[in-house]
Amino acid sequence: MRHIVDAHHHLWDLNACRYPWLMAKGVKRFFGDPTPIQKSYLVEDLRRDAQDYVIDASVHIQVGVAEGDELRETEWLESTAESTGLPSAIVAYCALEQPDAPGQIDAQSKHPRVRGLRQIVGRSDEEDALSGSGSLIADPAWLENLNLLGDMGLSFDLQLTPRQVPAVAEVLSRVPNTRVALCHCGSPWDQTEAGLASWRKGLELLAGLPQVSCKISGLGMFDHQWTLDSIRPIVEACVDIFGAERCMLGSNFPVDKLHADYSRVWGAFETILASLPDDEQARLFGDAARSFYRISAAS
């Protein structure tokens, strides 16, 4: 079995923390109908889904915990890691525009597995219009605290939509010391020929910033009926533009479980990347994530 580092997955225990979107019934989301995953998803569930692979290490990404439960989620994850061995690294949540953000960042940083933070800038045009998340880009406090992350040795996981790329790239150019992991290939929503060409230009703009890496993950959110042929140009473009040393692979489970099983996701990665040299495959399937999230070989 292939050994992997899953650089982007989620865990949640509905008895440990509050997750409003997991408790909301009948609300369709940009990634599909969440009903099948509106239940606890623990390490044992992840390992069961990944039974055809050996997860040597993994990175948990925050996933919409209720306000006030941000540190509780991290504490639960630390306890989970102590008892099960996963996750190896934690990307927690903090609202960087809020006045208490520096204190929240400091509190999160005291947990040994916390490597960075994520605050979603863009999900989809429809949901962003309701949430107003796109306004974060222009918020001076948000930018100041994004810079603070780098000063504290923490990274930022960036989820956006392609139309936001130019503005975000300009902002990131002002915080060169904060390492950034671009989530889900930069969200390739428009998969027409013209849409992918525009998306690729956005990737090139972000790749021009040396602190930015790319996570190849979550493609089922943007194409619920994806095939090997439909995701191949997306995966290949990410590797071509960022290079294997700046790309990581992630399952986005259990969200992407709505559209494919774990083995299909990782089997597609294996097939698409099979022609690459062994050292580049090693980076993509594990070494790049270990380096970015500072995961030791023993993890």
Q: What is the CATH number of the domain that holds 17?
A: 3.20.20.140
Q: Domain of 160? A: 2-292
Residue 257 lies in a domain: yes
Dihedrals φ, ψ of 85, to 5°? 95, -10
Phi, psi (rounded to 5 degrees) for 29: -110, 170
In order along its 299 residues, the chain shows pLDDT tens digits of: 999 999 999 999 999 999 999 988 888 898 889 999 999 999 999 999 999 999 999 999 999 999 999 999 999 999 999 999 999 999 999 999 999 999 999 999 999 999 999 999 988 877 877 777 778 999 999 999 999 999 999 999 999 999 999 999 999 999 999 999 999 999 999 999 999 999 999 999 999 999 999 999 999 999 999 999 999 999 999 999 999 999 999 999 999 999 999 999 999 999 999 999 999 999 999 999 999 999 987 66
Q: Tell whether 211 is covered by a domain.
A: yes
> What is the domain count for the chain?
1
Domain presence at residue 299: no
pTM recorded for the entire structure: 0.96
